[in-house]
Structure 1
Amino acid sequence: MTTRSSPRRRKAVAVVAAVMLAAGTATAAHAADPLILDHGHIDTFHVAVEDGELVLSLAEDVTGSHVRHQPEDVLLRVKEEAWNEQIPSQFPGSPEGYVLPLTQDRDLIWPGWDTHGVAGSGYTDVSIDITDVNGPGDIHLYTLTGFGTPTSLLQDGGFQLPGTIREARPAHTHAQWTFSAAGEYTLQVRATATDPDTGATLTSNPGTYAFSVGDGAAGQPDLPSSLAIHGLADHYHTGDTVSLTAVPDVETDLDHYHWYTRDNASDSWSVVPGQGGAEFTGTADHDGRQIKAALFGDDHAVVAESDPVTVHIDDHGDHDGPSETVLTVKGAEGHFHPGDTVELTAVQEPATDLDHYHWFTRPDTNATWSLAGDAGTTGTYTFTASAQIDGYQVQARLYDDHHEVVATSDPVTLHIDDHGDHGTGGGTTGTVTGNTSEPQLCLPQEQQVEREVPVTEDFSLVLDHGHIDLFNVTAEGGSLTLDLKEDVTGSHERHAPGDVLLHVKPEAYTDSIPDGYPGAPAGYLLPLTQDPDLIWPGWDTNGVAGSGYPDVTIDITAVDGPGDVYLYTTSTFGGAVPVLEGGGFELPGSVREQSPAHTHAQWTFSEPGQYTLTARATATDPAGGSSISSGEETYTFAVDTLPEATASATETITETVVIGRTADGEECDLPGGAGGDGANGGLASTGTPYVAGIAVLGTSLLAGGAATTALRRRFFGPAV
């Protein structure tokens, strides 16, 4: 996106004059001093049945949570940053215009509509008639399919307003808007709600909505949109003073800043205490440390933020850092017999003072490296050979004092040959002692077990369609709550996540996921834009607004299920975009909202079956750095078919579990607690009782490739 150069700044335009001029014969005049919204979540057309009447209003989550206004009391500002002169030819409004994207941009308004206020009234079929548009250009309104194809939201199939939006049942919808030219626009709007059983209708009050598009919001001086960092030196010596200045792109009276640092690009940002102005002073003591600044408005919302700058330290050879070294693993030459003790040693050339290692393994060259949890952090890795690890590869990595990788060895391959008859050692060029008193490698082994499970109705509510804020985060009284909120059984109904089963229906399956999108070519897809026949899970952190803890991280710490779960969003004109911290697409992972937000994303489940997601939320005060955390919650999805519960109190089921055994056949504890004794279900169990049907479903899926994948993940630890 590029910023359009405007020939002039339109300063201090009288709001009422501009809006009335644009409205022409408008039936309702706007307030002389309207609330100006230039960012945040806005339900522009909020439709509700109240006391038997249909009410059209505007609801927003900028000044609070679900704050409602008369449409005439609000001016919606589309900032100059929305200008885009590279709109692809297949998109409405091409080739240029002011674009408000389908997925939320924190710096722009995010206007949509909400008809959940008619739920339970009987008048559930709502039409929103935008009957008149006045302004200097055209307004295009549309949505995108899950893979970036423009799709009409208007009843006539068009893309340009005026037009009619119809929601046949209660819905909460956002869209992509494009304004072709700068200036003042007004929309005349009225809603009609119909009882689908009787045909009776209710008609709302008329509403006049005003947009101020482009440079210089009416009646308001420009706010900064970005910060530059001045004063950074090419490099520093250890102990030097680092003095920086944050410079806004336009003059402003705002003077409340926060400065943030992190040791490298993969770390989380931390606020620097005691630095509240435009000047930053610190000490150069860590090479690669990044620094950024943010400017806050009167409501303590971020107005502008800088790009990070990086502090480079060069002591010109006068330092204690290690020179470059090459790492080689010795001890894997030749082959081993089952029961041999294998001792691998990492050798540095040239030697350094560093002695912190991690060892990694993988079953073959096509697999992902995983941390060997039983190896420790020394330069030696000792374990007992077993036939099951024939062909496995091992790699060592050397770390510096900041836990950065300094050197990585080439992989070595383990060759285990039984010969049918062998002694306890010898015959190899590696270090083989045959001393079985040494710690033996604990290997995973599948076995069938029977166990009794309680057959109860684990879930009090099953949701198979509708708007769901899966991760709903609220702060009250100094504590943080993570629960689930939905608009299916009512409006903003909240539940304990463990009480709800989320059904991803068979209709979600598609075998035409394009290359470049996570989960291609096939999977169960919950699209970014709402499909009224499917669940539409997202997250909402607006419940922390006003608490002092606006910066929320939702950590999905574990995913158990028969396949993979992908979570992502799309760009303005198509293409997958990460929403997870670190840039990945596959869960587990963390979602961060630095200010209160309401967000939806695209989900893909690769296989049918039951999935459980374990999550916890943390909210941080960006001014002081203190934080509060929620309890851990479990969310359950049933993908494709629903599980069935029987009426008996208990039932005996047979399932595949993984236990640990040494090469001698003795039971042992697998690294990371992956083993099971048949009582807790091992690989198939998540630590919570199963509905009988769900347990059987999980067991049958384990018989295939999913079991092998899970086995490797559990034994060899997290992939890196």
Structure 2
Amino acid sequence: MPASADPSDDPQLRQSLDANQQIVRGDRVLESGHVDMGPKFDNGNWRFLIHDDARKADPGASSVWRYPQQTVLHVTDAAKLPVPDNPAYAFIGAPPATPVWVVPQTQNPDVVWVGWNTQDPQVMQRIDRGITLSLTGVQGPGTVTVYLHSGNFGTPQILWDSRKPEPQPVWVDVNTHTHANWVFTKPGVYLLQLQAKAQLVDGSTVSDTQLVRFAVGAGTSATDALAASWPRPSASPGDPSAASSETGQHPDGTAASESQRSLPWLLVGVTALVVAALTVATIAAARSSRTRRRVFAARTAAGDDRTPADQPNADGGGNR
């Protein structure tokens, strides 16, 4: 069963989306303000996009949808916080008091506020009950965890952990708007592969998988984040043969097994053994041929005109 990501009763999460909000093209770096990820129909096609709610901060601006491959979520150093000295937060993957970068569940105006929604009007009309939002792959220099908590002393509900090799699904009801805590243990470029899948009211199933790009830390280039790809440049984001160099995890969420990771070296070793065996056999055959020629030459000089095929073997036995 997928985990559930129900929003808390937070007034900041009460919103409705305009059906006329446009999908725009062009590179964009977002380092503050309200941002949601979510599904939308793009010329009739189901797409997982990023909702840039610029109007929330500036009434004169327009809120729009953006393509993930053209968008960078820049988590600046204003997001740095120490890991709590509390066993409940050991899952973060860094010792207590270690600075990490946190996109908080409750908005910090100096940090990009990242969440997700299922509130596009056409989406709400056409999906059956909700969507499954899954983390299926991660690439980055550190550990990423995403969790919810209720109140200051609530037990963290872990939704996603980049150290897990399997896909991690979260169920999101229709007309839901949720924000969570996103924790990055090291600065650098992170690619999170997320899949939004749903059953429509007509019984059909739709799905879209995209790379969401994070540039974490003041010194991390947004340009590098835009240019980043999975380790095999020839592989598409959904190609299960392209493995993450940091996690040993395929972008489709399946783990690269130890035997898969060691297979190239095993093939090299087998090839070397075969070459060595062939070399020894060739040398032995050449020596045997020279020996037989010398024996034949000696017998010819003695008046024995039998061919080498008629001669006894070197061990004294006849040819068989």
Task: State the TM bucket, normalised to the shorter chain.
Answer: 0.5 to 0.7
Moved beyond 6 Å, runs of 4+: none
Residue 492 (structure 1) aligns with: 63
Q: How far apart are the structure 2 equivalents of 1:502 and 1:465? A: 9
Q: Which amino acid aligns with 2:147?
A: Y
Q: Which letter maps to 1:506?
A: D
Change (3 A) 1:558 1:709: closer
Secondary structure of the 1:538 match is strand
SS at match of 1:604: strand
Aligned to 2:33: 466
Conserved 8 A contact 2:136-2:194: yes
Give the secondary structure class of the aligned counterpart of 1:534.
Answer: coil
Residue 643 (structure 1) aligned to one of 209, 216, 221 = 221
CA distance in 1, matches of 2:174, 2:222: 41
* Change beyond 3 A, Cα 1:681–1:553: closer
**Pairing partner for 1:589 from 168, 171, 182:** 168
For 2:33, give the aligned amino acid. Answer: G
Residue 604 of structure 1 aligns with which residue?
A: 183
Q: TM-score, normalised by structure 1?
A: 0.27
Separation of aligned partners in 2, 1:498 and 1:618: 19
Cα deviation, 1:274-301, whole Å, max 9, x if unaligned, reads: xxxxxxxxxxxxxxxxxxxxxxxxxxxx
Q: CA deviation digits over 1:466-503, x for unaligned, max 9?
A: 1000x221358874221110123734311111111111
Question: Offset at 1:590?
Answer: 2.0
1:218-237 mapped onto 2 (5 Å cutoff): none
Q: Specify whether residues 502 and 562 from structure 1 end up closer, same or farther in structure 2 by C-alpha distance, changes over 3 A only.
A: same
Residues 104 and 681 (structure 1 numbering): CA distance in 2 closer, same or farther, change over 3 Å? closer
Match of 1:111? 11
What is the alpha-carbon distance in structure 1 between the residues aligned to residue 197 and residue 249 of structure 2? Answer: 31
Q: How many Å apart are 1:110 and its aligned residue?
A: 4.9
1:716 equivalent to 2:251? Answer: no
The one-letter code of the counterpart of 1:473 is P
Kindly state the Cα deviation for residue 645 of structure 1 after the two structures are TM-superposed.
5.7
State, as a whole percentage, how many aligned pairs show the same letter. 27
Larger RCO (alpha carbons 8 Å, 6+ apart) = 2
* Distance in 2 (alpha carbons) for counterparts of 1:561 and 1:485: 23
Question: In proportion to residue count, which structure has more helix?
Answer: 2
From 52, 55, 72, the equivalent of 1:501 is 72
Structure 2: runs of 5 or more not aligned:
1-5, 16-25, 56-60, 238-243, 261-320
Q: Report the AA paired with residue 568 of structure 1.
A: Y
In the alignment, what sits opposite 1:613? 192
Contact kept, 8 Å, 2:118 with 2:173, in 1: the verdict is no
Q: Secondary structure, in 3 states, of the residue corresponding to 2:108?
A: coil
Task: Report the Cα distance in structure 2 between the residues aligned to 1:477 and 1:645, rounded to whole angstroms.
Answer: 29
The Cα of 1:554 is off from its aligned counterpart by 1.4
User: Partner letter of residue 7 of structure 2?
Assistant: Q
* Distance of 1:682 and 1:113 partners within structure 2: 33
Letter in 1 for 2:29: V
1:483 paired to 2:49: yes
Across the aligned residues of Structure 1 and Structure 2, the Cα RMSD in angstroms comes to 4.0
Once residues 686 and 613 of structure 1 are traced to their aligned partners in structure 2, the CA distance between those partners, rounded to angstroms, is 18
Give the corresponding residue for 1:403: none
CA apart distance, 1:707: 6.3
Q: Distance in 1 between matches of 2:13 and 2:135?
A: 29
Asked if 2 retains the 8 angstrom alpha-carbon contact of 1:478 and 1:628, the reply is: no
Q: Secondary structure at the match of 2:69?
A: helix
SS at match of 2:118: strand
Residue identity matched to 1:552: I
Q: Give how far 1:686 is off.
A: 8.8
**Greater C-alpha Rg:** 2
Any unmatched runs of 5+ in structure 1? 1-102, 116-458, 647-679, 690-705
Taking a change above 3 Å as real, the CA distance of residues 476 and 571 of structure 1, as seen in their structure-2 partners, is same
Cα distance change, pair 501–553 in 1 and its aligned pair in 2 (3 A): same
Which shifted more, 602-611 or 459-468?
459-468
Q: Secondary structure at the match of 2:141?
A: coil
* Corresponding pairs, count: 218
